[in-house]
Structure 1
């Protein structure tokens, strides 16, 4: 039957993981401490028994590949994995595809007192003393937002009345049930996870971006901006406009079409002050043979097909905490090519900062 895995993530997840373990019959609790990862040292507990591991290469992927995955295969049965804060659940679930394991749920602990500030800040993990070895340039925001966004259930820790935080979480992850740590009933929480929960599954970058029908009306400063357009961005103007996505914004995710790269869909993702831009793959309009393309994507592209542009389009979902939705929309719209530029797009030579940026990202 393979291994049943329940992941617990978050900076304040220690007690939550203990409670989940006690409430899940027959489970084993696994913990990792990666604070010595830069020196190639990983501390790991299995039901309280400590092992000190020395890895030839101190990196997160080595920890997963050389320790966690073989351990889960060896243990079998039910395993609660309390993730070190630098281990993001999405990356762990991606790695689990290589073994006979099933993700039962991802539970994230969200600290009422710090999460919103962390999610909109630009501190790096390294600046907090949490960096996972050389070359780890992730921000705290990228980690905490990713944990809450990928979770099937959320446990709120810390004290205080936090309507702004609740409003952001309503829009970031509307499907995940939320419970207070002080009144936590683990069995009830796990039972409240909906049938449509991801349970370790990944989003298709060409698929639906507005998951779970988040509320679209603003509340307590939080808002959802759903930006769609059927013309390309001017690459330099988009580059200049990106700053509007990095202040007072919790999350941006979506597909980008720039005039300088007409055949390639770019993926833009931000959390707080941290930003990634990558290559999502070709637009179907640039693909001659669709035989290997999933049927769902073919159907979705056909439904919106444009006689000139095919399936090329802009779609970004921006979740704000305090930024103006109107200013974000105006900045993005102002970065689109003009009618004159669109008419000459095949002849113009655009300076493209995203091409060099993407190459640098691939080297990290």
Structure 2
């Protein structure tokens, strides 16, 4: 197939976040760009395609699956008359899952190879309701897997290239919060999605590894945190908690079931005294905190199971190893947690986690 792959923009956001308004503006553009927009309707209504006088097309799908999105992209690309494609992603779909599943790339066998390429992930923020949604513990309607509203919101913020914030009295505060969660994302403030087309179409901003590495907590772990842009931004701080002793399970349980005032985001893994083989994962956002198994520590595995053909991973194991190379009592077991919050008292949180450690 000999054609230039169409740039695809994926637009995430909740209902009321000016997401639909942005798509309407793309469809109504008078810049001569022919844009195919893929949106979603009721499962009871069949597929619908509506052509507009300016050469744009709106496609409405009853099926909210990523497979349906892929098929719609293929149909638009094969017509070879559009300049770009924009997808109105359902709120329950994780943007990273969309990027992982859609077969973009250089693989000649991929369905979309040569037809389309992921170009920009955009998240539209409903500023008037953002603080309420971020503090919510409610389950996302239609999520099906118990995902909460704030978890979906964080997925959209952390995996994106461009953030559009609707205007409100809290816009500046929201902007600082989002910058702490995704310092890489290009931010725009606009009423009703009124942004230049060049800021959301064919921007060339998307790269899977770069976008996936954008979350603020990950940047902090990698010592890539940018300096605050103003005094107000400096009110959002962070803590990286590290320790080489296991947590006492009851003490940690008690801490995890307390209120965490001011903490916007926490992420990492931990070592429990009663779980010497398996590490634990922790993820907190707003009013939701989850924990569970993260995987088996290398120190708990036979050396014959260690990687021998991945120098980078081998070097990582050595760098994180505690004690002698043949001493598996600690090895790579450790506490490694990142907290991001408003006016975060790092010393107080350090003491709280220290108090959860097993006595010497």
TM-score, normalisation: structure 1 = 0.73
**Higher gyration radius (CA):** 2
Distance 1:117 1:244, change over 3 A: same
* 5+ long unaligned stretches in structure 2: 50-56, 79-83, 104-109
Number of equivalences: 317
Distance in 2, matches of 1:103 and 1:3, equals 8
**What does 1:121-132 align with in structure 2 at a 5 Å threshold?**
121-125=136-140, 130-132=141-143
TM-score, normalisation: structure 2 = 0.74
Which of 299, 306, 309 is the equivalent residue of 1:285?
A: 299
Match of 1:233 in 2: 247
The answer on whether the counterparts of 2:262 and 2:343 sit within 8 Å (CA) in structure 1 is yes
Distance in 2, matches of 1:146 and 1:4, equals 22
Backbone CA RMSD of aligned residues: 3.5
Which of 165, 175, 189 is the equivalent residue of 1:156?
A: 165
Distance 1:104 1:149, change over 3 A: same
Match of 1:88 in 2: 94
Deviates more, 1:80-89 or 1:215-224: 215-224
Match of 2:37, SS state, is strand
**Match status 1:303 vs 2:305:** no
**What does 1:1-364 align with in structure 2 at a 5 Å threshold?**
4-11=7-14, 12=17, 13-19=19-25, 22=29, 25-33=33-41, 41=44, 46=49, 47-52=57-62, 63-65=65-67, 67-76=68-77, 78-97=84-103, 100=112, 102-125=117-140, 130-132=141-143, 135-182=144-191, 184-188=195-199, 198=209, 201=212, 210=221, 212-215=224-227, 219=233, 221-244=235-258, 246-287=260-301, 288=303, 289-291=305-307, 294-307=310-323, 308=327, 309-321=330-342, 324-339=345-360
Q: How big is the shift at 1:208? A: 6.5
The answer on whether the counterparts of 1:120 and 1:250 sit within 8 Å (CA) in structure 2 is no
Q: How big is the shift at 1:300? A: 2.2
The answer on whether the counterparts of 1:3 and 1:72 sit within 8 Å (CA) in structure 2 is no
